[in-house]
């Protein structure tokens, strides 16, 4: 199956789960774990998310509990957790092979409205107990994703991929601030993926992503590691490359938080979604829309996220 660039990466600090950590499941479409065609891809995206907080029992709640051993406190929140985000990406598909693999790189700066970051601050013990009515309409730079290792191999009907990316803390972060656009720490993402092309139109993808976090700036807090599984399928509608697909994910915290002020509460989330892509000019200008619905959330923000955008391709030769 030919792979056309339909790439979208959503940083969770921008528009999806507002989780502890950066990576959010279903951030990629099923075919996008694999290196693109040689040349440049410039995607421009807008996203809207409507989120609610779910406690450790998985129930929607306005009360966040911080059971830190030396500081068991609670926070009452009444939030308008609706966010608007903008993502401009620069994606490069390289010519030739590296270790026998197709290769590429990407960089993704973000702009976002950090409405729900008060909850992240609370888990880091930056926000004290009390009741907050919080509707933040500010817009600022978020953390930046950089993926310098993007390798994929093809063997018969199978594709395999190995990716390494890092979230750099470029977004505004100040201890105690209610409008932080970033998390204040680095996150390292290691991902492996496999894809079965059952015929010329249908593909099935499974990927696993490990995220490991550094210590947070100016706090005694280190978020635990998370493991995410992504499963999805695509269907090629025609020779133009128009496509529809489904995707799903499951994320779980697999190590404890560290530090004297950590939240010490593990979290998890799952989700389902779908996308459609249409080439206005085949292999040059494409449109895409996506929707994701999260569920089974514990100690997370979860809800519905919708994205739409344009992909501009500047090819440099055949793949």
All structural domains of the chain, each given as residue ranges with its CATH number in brackets, are 39-315 (2.40.160.40)
The answer to whether the CB of 148 falls within 8 A of the CB of 107 is: no
Element (H or E) spanning 160, and its range? strand 158-168
User: With left for phi above 0 and alpha for psi between -120 and 50, is residue 41 left, alpha or beta?
Assistant: beta
Is the pLDDT assigned to residue 114 strictly greater than 70? no
The answer to whether the CB of 241 falls within 8 A of the CB of 235 is: no
43, two tokens: 């995607």
* Phi, psi for 57 (deg, rounded to 5): -90, -5
How large is the average pLDDT for residues 32-39?
92
Q: Which of 190, 173, 275, 269 is nearest to 233 (CA)?
A: 275
Q: Compute the distance between CA of residue 81 and CA of residue 18 in angstroms, rounded to an integer.
A: 10
Q: Is the alpha carbon torsion for 250, 310, 237, 36 positive or negative?
A: negative
**Residue pLDDT, tens place only, 8-17:** 433 333 333 3
Query: For position 266, what pLDDT does the model report?
Result: 80
**Residue pLDDT, tens place only, 42-78:** 998 888 888 888 888 888 877 766 555 555 556 666 5
Q: How many CB atoms lie under 10 A from the CB of residue 78? A: 10
Is the pLDDT assigned to residue 7 strictly greater than 60? no
**Residue pLDDT, tens place only, 88-104:** 889 999 999 999 999 99
Choose the weakest-confidence range: 15-19, 124-128, 165-169, 234-238. Answer: 15-19
**Percent of the chain surpassing pLDDT 90:** 46
Number of residues in the chain: 319
Q: Where are the alpha helices (DSSP H) in the chain?
A: 117-123
Is the pLDDT assigned to residue 128 strictly greater than 50? no
């Amino acid at each position: 199956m030919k792979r056309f660039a339909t790439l979208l990466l959503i940083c969770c600090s921008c528009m999806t789960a507002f989780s502890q950590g950066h990576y959010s499941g279903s951030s990629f479409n099923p075919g996008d774990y694999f290196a693109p065609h040689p040349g440049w891809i410039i995607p421009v995206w807008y996203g809207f998310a409507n989120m609610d907080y779910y406690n450790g029992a998985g129930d929607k709640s306005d009360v966040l509990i911080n059971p830190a051993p030396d500081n068991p406190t609670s926070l009452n929140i009444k939030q308008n957790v609706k966010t608007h985000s903008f993502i401009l990406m620069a994606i490069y598909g390289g010519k030739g092979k590296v270790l026998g693999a197709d290769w590429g790189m990407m960089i993704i700066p973000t702009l976002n409205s950090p409405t729900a970051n008060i909850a992240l601050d609370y888990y880091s013990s930056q926000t004290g107990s009390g009741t907050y009515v919080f509707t933040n309409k500010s817009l600022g730079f978020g953390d930046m994703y950089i993926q310098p290792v993007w390798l994929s191999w093809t063997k018969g009907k199978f594709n395999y991929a190995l990716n390494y990316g890092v979230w750099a803390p470029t977004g505004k972060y100040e201890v105690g601030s209610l409008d932080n656009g970033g998390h204040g720490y680095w996150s390292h993402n290691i991902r492996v993926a496999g894809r079965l092309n059952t015929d010329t139109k249908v593909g099935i993808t499974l990927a696993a992503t490990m995220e490991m976090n550094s210590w947070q700036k100016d706090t005694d807090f280190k978020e635990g590691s998370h493991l995410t599984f992504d499963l999805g399928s695509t269907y090629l509608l025609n020779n133009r490359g128009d496509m529809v697909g489904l995707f799903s994910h499951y994320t779980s915290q697999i190590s404890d938080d560290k530090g004297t002020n950590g939240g010490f509460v593990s979290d998890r989330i799952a989700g389902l979604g779908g996308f459609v892509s249409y080439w206005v000019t085949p292999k040059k200008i494409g449109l895409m829309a996506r929707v994701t619905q999260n569920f089974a959330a514990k100690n997370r923000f979860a809800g519905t996220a919708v994205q739409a955008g344009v992909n501009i391709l500047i090819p440099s030769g055949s793949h």
